[in-house]
Amino acid sequence: MDKGFWRQIQDALFPRTCLLCRGRLDGDEMVSRLLCNDCLGDFECNPKACHRCAEPMTQTEPVSGTLLCGRCQKKPPAFHQILAPYLYCYPVSELIQRFKSQDHMLLNRLLSDLLSDYLMGQLDAEMIKRPDILLPVPTHWRTRLQRGFNPAACLADAVGRQLAIPVNMSVLRKPVMTHSQHDLNRAQRLKNLDQSFALRDGTEVQGREIAVVDDVVTTGSTADVIASLLRDNGAASVQVWAIARTPNQRR
Ligand SMILES: [Zn+2]
Ligand SMILES: [Zn+2]
């Protein structure tokens, strides 16, 4: 077999250049083998966020003792908590978009490692309850056919393996395709989403501590609708785990 072939395989499995800036990786950067330290340093974390919906908070927000945004104080959502370590902006947004458009194996590994590391810290510090089961946010079969995979399912699978939590890929279903949510206000979004998710078997979630896994939480409306469905079917609690939270989507 010629050397070039093996070199191509090696480069695909262990890239020596940063996925974002194409700079050469060396030293400790080779540990992650995917991003250089400069690009990793550009990741924007989401430290000052609402404890419930993870919406980034500003100084002018009404702040209670537990750092809840005004909306969660007025009308608490059905989920117990959203955990999203990063803000959905460059370079995290770029990595997530590439992962979703290409089913990029290395990006799945990188993003699920980042999410797992963060969650492991939260679990070790007893900041969150360890769920019994992970459920990926489902996609409609037509979307899955177009894209070829469900990014949330890939993430849930990887995170479940790293945290040793079972994943159920089939209990949550999305039998109805939803139209773009972009131009809708919150009430319209919830109406648009209502009835679009279903459970294959309600007994699977009864009495269980659940974490729903998604790649990005945009407005929290999908998380709210899914959490309502799970809690209506007897789930003990519902957390939502995602890599990133989109700021300033409040309407
Ligand atoms: Zn870089
Ligand atoms: Zn909130």
Closest CA to 209 of 127, 135, 120, 122: 135
111: helix, strand or coil: helix
Integer angstrom CA distances of residue 190 from 44, 77, 133, 221? 29, 12, 25, 6
Ligand nearest to the CA of 217: 2
Both 229 and 188 in a single domain?
yes
Q: What is the pLDDT of residue 214?
A: 97
C-alpha 20 to ligand 1 mean position (Å): 5
Ligand nearest to the CA of 53: 2
| Domain membership flag for residue 251 | no
Residue 92 C-alpha from the chain's centroid: 12
C-alpha 36 to ligand 1 mean position (Å): 4
C-alpha 1 to ligand 2 mean position (Å): 57
Q: What is the pLDDT of residue 18?
A: 87
Ligand nearest to the CA of 17: 1
C-alpha 37 to ligand 1 mean position (Å): 7
Domain range for 35: 1-42
Q: What is the pLDDT of residue 189?
A: 73
Cα separation of 124 and 120, whole Å? 6
Q: What is the pLDDT of residue 48?
A: 83
Both 28 and 57 in a single domain?
no
Cα separation of 100 and 86, whole Å? 17
Ligand nearest to the CA of 22: 1
Ligand nearest to the CA of 76: 2
Q: What is the pLDDT of residue 169?
A: 95
Query: In this structure, are residues 24 and 17 in contact, taking their beta carbons and an 8 Å threshold?
Result: yes
Helices then strands, counting H and E runs in the chain, come out as 10, 7
Both 136 and 21 in a single domain?
no
pLDDT < 70 positions in the chain: 1-4, 6-15, 27-33, 59-65, 103, 179-182, 248-251
C-alpha 46 to ligand 1 mean position (Å): 21
Both 53 and 73 in a single domain?
yes
C-alpha 51 to ligand 2 mean position (Å): 7
- How many structural domains are present in the chain? 2
CATH code: domain of residue 64: 3.40.50.2020
Both 38 and 71 in a single domain?
no
Burial class of residue 62, CB neighbours in 10 A (0-12, 13-18, 19+)? exposed
Both 34 and 124 in a single domain?
no
| Domain membership flag for residue 127 | yes
